[in-house]
Amino acid sequence: MDSYQITSRIVDQIVVFSVRGYFSSDAGNEIYDALDGLHAKGIRVFVLDFADCQMFNSTGVAVLLDISGKVREEWHAELFFDGLNEICFQTLRMTGLMTNADRTLFRQKFPNLGKSAPPKPFKLRP
């Protein structure tokens, strides 16, 4: 099993999942499993921050497709990918999850995220 760590926080009704290490299906499923409860609490904007993620594997990308389907298509909510290195960005671009324009969309739409209020961390699993 590849090493990863996910931390999460809520800022201004936006959930930010920060991924550290290698993004596999285990990491993706941990995020996927947390989505329903967050959506039930009224969260409609989700961010996956990959600034500390070195690489995805194919099963991790498959879970990202599931996450995108749930958030964007089923719930009509917003999902952003942030902090991607070039390899991770190109991987998501090839799968159709991102375009070149999407790369900066999150920072353009929410330029003050993190400046307005301290984040409230929460646990994904008890």
Report DSSP letters for 33-88, one per residue: HHHHHHHHTT--EEEEEEEEEEEE-HHHHHHHHHHHIIIIIIS--EEEEES--HHH
Q: In what order do the strands lie in the sheet with 4-11?
A: 78-82, 45-56, 14-23, 4-11, 120-121
Q: What is the pLDDT of residue 125?
A: 58
The amino acid occupying position 25 is S
Per-residue pLDDT of 19-46, as tens digits, reads: 999 999 999 999 999 999 999 999 999 9
pLDDT in tens, 46-87: 999 999 998 999 999 999 999 999 999 999 999 999 999 999
CATH architecture of 4-121: 2-Layer Sandwich (3.30)
pLDDT at residue number 50:
94
